Each structure stands twice: as C-alpha cells, then as structure tokens.
C-alpha cells in the first residue's frame, strides 16, 4: 500500500509490538486513568473509547483528553490517540451541554439533508473543542425491522435512497468540522431483531438483497469520504455461513474493500458485546477479525460485564495474543502493516499528531445559541401527522388542555444507568414538554400513568373535546425502555375516547399499528429535549407540521 512518506517512514521505524498496539481502541471505567495508563505508555494503543462516564461536562472532557494525549509523549514515537465517542444524536456524550439535535430518525423525517449537514458539523465542532477527535456516527443502517431492539431512532429511516441522502449529508458535515466520521454498522444492522449487545443476531439476506437495500447508504457514505467503517456483529449466512460480519473475509475484504472500494480504517463494534463474548474466545475473535481485514479492535470493556480487578491483565493478554499471532504467521506482516499504516495515515490526515499541544489551547464550544437554533429547527421540521381522522389538529386552546403521561415514572430510572453509553438524558421528554407549555401560558391539566393505571377514566378526560396522550421510547444498549405499559394505557383510553385522543409520540411511529382506534397520531421521531420543545411550541403557534414518515407502519 502507498502511505504518505512521513507515515511510511514512521511505519518502517515501528517494532512489531508497536504496530500491534496501534490496532487497539480501548475503554476504561470512570475518571480513574490508572488502568488505561500502562496500555498507552507500555503497549502504545491506538485510541480510546470514551463515554459520559469518563467525562460528564466539557471541562472534565478537556482535562481527560489532554491527560490521555500527554501519556503518549512518554512513548518512543509519541503517536497520539484516536479519542472516539458515540455522539450520533439519539445517543450522545457531554449531555446536556452538547448539541444532540433530535437524532437521526427525526433528521430523516425532515426530508432536509442540509439540516443534517449542519447538525453533524456542530457535532464535530463541539467534540473537537474538548479534544474528542472521532465520532462513531452516522448510523447508515436502514431500519427495516419494526422489532429491531437497538437501532430504531439511531437510523435515518427505512428507505435506502432517503437514508443515503442523509448519510452523505452527515459525512459532509462531519468532514467540514474536521472530525473523524464513522459509518456503522456494516453491512447493516437495520433488519436484526436481536440486540447484538446481548447475543448474535442472524439476518438471512443474500448479497443481491443487501446491494439493493442496506449497502446503498454505506456506498454513498464511502463515496462521500467517510473516514472509518464500523463492523456489525451479525451473521449473514447466505454470504458467510460460518463467520459474523466482523470476522468474515468475504464481507470485510471482498465486499467492503474490493467491491465497494473503501480505503479507510475498518473498526469493530465492541468486541466485548454479547454477540462476540458469548460465542467466541476473545483472543481468537480479535485475531480472526484482523485476518478478515479489520484494522482496529474496539473494546468498550467496562460497559459489558467488566471486572475491574483484571482489566489490565485481560487487555494485555489480548494484545499479546495478537503479537504472538503475527510472530507465528497467523497474521501476516503485510496485513499488520496495512492495518497500522491505515490508522497512522488517518491520524496524519486529520492533524492528530499535533493533538497534545493543541488541546491545551482549546476553548469548549457549548451552549451556543446558533447551535440550539439549528437543533430546534430540525426537531420542528421532523414532526409528522400520521393520522388525524377527527381533525383534532391543530388543538383548540380556548379551554384547559388535558395532557396524560403514559410512561410509568419509575421507567425513567434506566436512562441514567447505562454506564455512559446511550441517550444520557436525565430529564424525560414529557417533563420538558410540560414545562414548555407552562412557560408559553397554556392552561393544562396533567395526569400521570399512576393516576389512571387502575382507575376509571376521569370525567375531565371523558368530556374533553380533545386531549393529548404522550408516549416515549429510548434506545438503550443491552436494555429496553418500558413501552408495554404505555400501550396498555393508550388502548384503555382509546376504547372509550379514541376519537378524541391525540397521541403525541416522542419515539418512532412503529407503535401506531397497535392503536387502530386512536383518532390522531403526531410523531416527533425523537425523545430529545429539542423535540419536546418544538412540539410544545408548534402546538401553541399552530405551525403546519411538514415532517415525512421515514419508516413504514403496518
């Protein structure tokens, strides 16, 4: 392979062990840097996966990234780190300080790729302003399975052409900011019914089916200049009956490299997720992935059943297993040089070699009014009327407005217990919606799930010209947000007063198929604060809703 001359010279000077070190992007728990320090200083790892658990505000983030990059100055060649975060909108870091926008599915509903480009430019600018130099986004998955347990609102939608337009815009926006962008989860996680954080999904599509659908947004993102592609831990038996995508030469090399022409860095999804951990020895999985054509092994170790007492030993043993695989010829020197050379070239092209000196002078760029304005514009443009049989929208505010929160209050607790991965949203969409209505002067009567669960429907609701029932959902790694009890309450209400009920969904619209009696269904395709604000403001201002459904509902 041809690398820039400074990188080729650097590569020629690295030992086998130093080249292998570059192939690992590792996580660590909390604010304690002791576990990760020897992995940087002694093993020269290539990067770190960072989360809300490592830094909860911009000041902590800048201190964290500066400390990590300074550790690299104690190594022979002082190669800085890729410091990557799952900041993709629906999932985010440095929440609530950062701009998340409404998330990808809502961006897909806007039908305005130019808004997506602006949002991803903001993502990059904010993350770079504290030293994070990579975002593991955008999701290029076409969410075609309503029962998908993990993608959902993280996707731009179902329809390949529309998803591709949004992916291209996201890549362009990220590239404008200068941050590393990542397409995920190749060759597509949108038709899986099992969350790969839990176990190994199977998608029974052949190559022709993938090329006509799932692969199109990836191809367009590659052509737009994305820097990295993240693999999926999914078995595609009609393409490779033995290996999941992450460990499949047919998918990683023949398909991604040769057919689709991707020349950047291939990164695994976390190799400690249930899909891998429950089915393969960790050392063999890493070796097979590298053999297959993967360049960088990611382990978000602490988030999935991590035992901190053996953290360093586990990771050193894993790195040593790859070193031994090279020495024994299981991984060729050529394959090692390809992988480490690509990683070093990416760092070179993105200016990361000057990171340690640059971070000290950074000024965090958060809380900017123009960023919030773009996010609110995107959230507003996404709101979609999917059903309005009784012409209940716009709402008549000449009488008190009845609003029902269909979410059990204790369901929200899980939002702050995902160890830094996920939405990281402490204030539910309903609470933000309620506060904004009050701020705007709306006379409201609030009912909560607990008020109605075991009780007869109050006369206030029965006699109302119309009322709003709010539903929510949040995609969580390895866990589910409670939605069944919400559906039960909505159906209880719809049996008696469905022709006068407006369901306002701070989520995807897949639930609509279960509400045949509901008269009016409005969807924001997002549970983010900006979407709750936009819904309240549009309700009061009677602004026309222009969103276009990015997914089908049966």
Q: What is the mean pLDDT of residues 150-160?
A: 93
Q: Which CATH architecture has domain 20-359?
A: Alpha-Beta Barrel (3.20)
Q: What is the mean pLDDT of residues 53-59?
A: 96
**Residue 65, C-beta contacts closer than 8 angstroms, at least 6 positions apart:** 50, 83, 130, 131, 132, 355, 359
Instruction: Please classify residue 410 by burial: count the beta carbons closer than 10 Å to its beta carbon, then call 0-12 exposed, 13-18 middle and 19+ buried.
Output: exposed
> Using 50, 70 and 90 to split pLDDT, how confident is the model at 1?
confident
pLDDT digits (tens, 9 = 90+) for 476-523: 988 899 999 999 999 999 999 989 999 999 999 999 999 999 999 999
* The pLDDT of residue 150: 79
d(CA 515, CA 367): 39
* The pLDDT of residue 308: 63
CATH code of the region 383-541: 3.40.50.1700
d(CA 522, CA 388): 8
Q: In what helix (H) or strand (E) does residue 186 lie, and over which residues does it extend?
A: strand 182-186
d(CA 536, CA 394): 12
Q: Cα-flanking dihedrals φ and ψ of residue 151, to 5°?
A: -90, -75
Q: What is the mean pLDDT of residues 101-112?
A: 98
Three-state DSSP state, 366:
coil
The residue ranking higher by pLDDT, 179 or 279, is 179
Please give the torsion angle defined by the CA atoms of residues 372, 376, 382 and 383, in that order, rounded to the nearest 10 degrees: 150
Report how far apart, in Å, the C-alpha atoms of 512 and of each of 147, 369, 403, 502, 552 are. Answer: 13, 35, 19, 12, 10
Delimit the domains of the chain by residue range.
20-359, 383-541
> Using 50, 70 and 90 to split pLDDT, how confident is the model at 353?
very high
pLDDT digits (tens, 9 = 90+) for 25-47: 999 988 999 889 999 999 999 99
> Using 50, 70 and 90 to split pLDDT, how confident is the model at 307?
low
**pLDDT, the chain, mean:** 94
pTM of the full structure: 0.96
d(CA 306, CA 87): 22
Tokens of 345: 């070239």
d(CA 53, CA 31): 8
């Amino acid at each position: 392979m041809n690398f820039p001359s400074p990188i080729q010279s650097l590569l020629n000077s690295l030992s086998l062990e130093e080249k292998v070190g570059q192939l690992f992007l590792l996580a660590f728990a909390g604010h304690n840097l002791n576990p990760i320090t020897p992995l940087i200083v002694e093993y020269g790892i290539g990067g770190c996966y960072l989360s809300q658990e490592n830094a909860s505000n911009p000041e902590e983030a800048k201190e964290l990234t500066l400390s990590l990059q300074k550790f690299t100055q104690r190594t022979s060649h002082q190669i800085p780190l890729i410091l990557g975060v799952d900041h993709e909108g629906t999932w985010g870091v440095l929440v609530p300080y950062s701009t998340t926008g409404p998330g990808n599915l809502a961006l897909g509903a806007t039908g305005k790729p130019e808004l997506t480009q602006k949002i991803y430019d903001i993502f990059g600018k904010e993350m770079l302003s504290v030293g994070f130099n990579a975002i593991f986004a955008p999701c290029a998955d076409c969410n075609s399975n309503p029962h998908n347990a993990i993608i959902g609102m993280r996707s731009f939608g179902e329809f390949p052409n529309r998803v591709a337009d949004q992916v291209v815009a996201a890549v362009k926006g990220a590239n404008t900011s200068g941050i590393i962008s990542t397409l995920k989860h190749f060759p597509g996680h949108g038709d899986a019914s099992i969350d790969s954080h839990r176990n190994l999904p199977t998608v029974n599509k052949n190559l022709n089916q993938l090329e006509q659908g799932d692969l199109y947004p990836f191809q367009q993102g590659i052509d737009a200049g994305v820097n990295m592609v993240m693999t999926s831990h999914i078995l595609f038996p009609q393409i490779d009956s033995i290996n999941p995508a992450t460990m499949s030469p047919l998918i990683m090399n023949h398909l991604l490299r040769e057919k689709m022409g991707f020349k950047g860095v291939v990164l695994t999804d976390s190799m400690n997720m249930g899909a891998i951990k429950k089915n393969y020895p960790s050392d063999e999985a890493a070796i097979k992935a590298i053999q297959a054509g993967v360049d960088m092994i990611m382990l978000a170790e602490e988030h999935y059943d991590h035992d901190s007492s053996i953290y360093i030993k586990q990771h050193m043993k894993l790195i040593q297993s790859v070193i031994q695989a090279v020495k024994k010829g299981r991984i060729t020197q050529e394959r090692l040089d390809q992988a480490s050379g690509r990683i070093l070239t990416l760092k070179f092209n993105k200016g990361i070699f000057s990171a340690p000196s640059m971070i000290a002078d950074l000024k965090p760029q958060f809380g900017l009014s123009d960023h919030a304005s773009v996010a609110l514009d995107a959230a507003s443009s996404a709101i979609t009327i999917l059903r309005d049989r009784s012409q209940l929208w716009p709402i008549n505010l000449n009488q008190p407005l009845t609003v029902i929160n269909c979410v059990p209050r204790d369901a929200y607790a899980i939002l702050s217990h995902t160890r830094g991965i996920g939405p990281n949203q402490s204030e539910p969409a309903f609470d933000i919606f309620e506060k904004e209505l009050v701020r705007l002067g709306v006379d409201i009567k609030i009912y909560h799930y607990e008020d109605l669960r075991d009780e007869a429907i109050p006369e206030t609701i029965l006699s109302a010209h119309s009322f709003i029932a709010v539903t929510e959902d949040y995609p969580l790694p390895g866990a589910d947000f409670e939605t069944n009890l919400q559906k039960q309450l909505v159906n209880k209400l719809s049996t008696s007063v469905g022709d006068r009920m407006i369901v306002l969904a701070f989520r995807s619209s897949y639930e609509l198929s279960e509400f045949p009696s509901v008269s009016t269904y409005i969807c924001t395709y997002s549970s983010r604060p900006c979407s709750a604000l936009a819904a309240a403001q549009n309700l009061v201002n009677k602004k026309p809703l222009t969103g276009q459904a990015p997914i089908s509902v049966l």
